[in-house]
Amino acid sequence: MIKYISVVKPSSASGLVAGVYAQVDRDFGRVVEPFQLHSPLPELLAGAWMACRETELVGVVPRTFKEVVAASVSQLNQCAYCVDAHTIMLSAAGEGKIANAISKARYEDITDEKTFSIIQWALATASPRSELLRWPPFSKQEAPEFIGTAVFYHYVNRMANALLGETPLPLSQGWLRSPLKSIASQTFSNALNRPKTVGDSLEFLPKADLPNDLRWAKPSTNVARAYACFAKAVEEAGEQALPAEVRAHVDEELSEWTGKTSELSLAWSEDAISRFDEATESAARLAILTALAPDRIEGKAVLAFRKHFPEDTKLLGALAWASFAAAKKIGTWLQLHS
């Protein structure tokens, strides 16, 4: 269930949205809600899909390892929707035991050393001082796909926590979850195993410059191009949705952020934004919660923002900008050093 905004359904899509949806359906297996929620801003939808596809769905790294990253980052961010979604994808890839272990946060049940090390790295991505980030379980050639997948899910988890329900499954009763997840995994298995061409999504948006805080993507041409386009689309959406002083405040907060957000730091930020007028304060509060405390995003903050900024595009742009600002910051912690 998508909350707060109206989206373009696949049956009524046209133009750029229809083109992206067709490729999502072909390569991902279904036009799922995390893509649909971007549809009020077609360029943002295209950029999000490009960043996802060119990191997670294609490349030199086995898809299973990248689904492990997606599911583990989602556990880290307490995004129940995305944990369900990517453990379903792991099951579709034939890794039901790994999916079950991540779903229940029983990481000690993982017997494969490589998989276990990838999970531990993913769970450390929001801890910049962790030794696990200094010695990642992948090569420089593989880094853009691993880091790109982690960065994308730090972004998507925030969007999902704000706009989606607790599960992609049609029912959430405990006794039905296992059979429903099994059925869902079968839905995606064909698309998951279908051969895909690197760079196919790059047709949707014109080339853009890669920001310096995404330089980890440079070793892979298609990942770098996809993320450059995504970054430009997010920045343009943010400029339209959030006052400049709000974006500056979030940037200032992120410059000091160490991955942990305490009640004290949120209280400090609350005091800092009290100098704004009511509309700007509502925007700043939503943006700060989205960036720094995604598990604490509540309807109250969303509705307060909508009171002053009622357009769907404004809410989507504000959430996307704040989500990506935090995800980019995390990406700088994951950058490999020579």
Active-site residues: which are they?
A: 82
Other CB atoms within a 10 A radius of the CB of residue 191 amount to 18
Q: Which amino acid is at 158?
A: R
Half-sphere exposure of 239 (CA within 13 A, CB side): 6
**CA 45 to each of CA 142, 228, 234, 241: distance values in angstroms, whole numbers, following the listed order:** 25, 14, 10, 16
Name, in order, each residue with C-beta under 8 angstroms of 337's C-beta and a sequence gap of 6 or more. none
Dihedral sign for Cα 303, 306, 310, 312, please: negative
- Binning the chain into helix, strand and coil, the percentages to the nearest 5 are 70, 0, 30
What tokens does 318 get? 């504000």
CA–CA dist 107, 20 (Å, integer): 35
CA–CA dist 104, 99 (Å, integer): 9
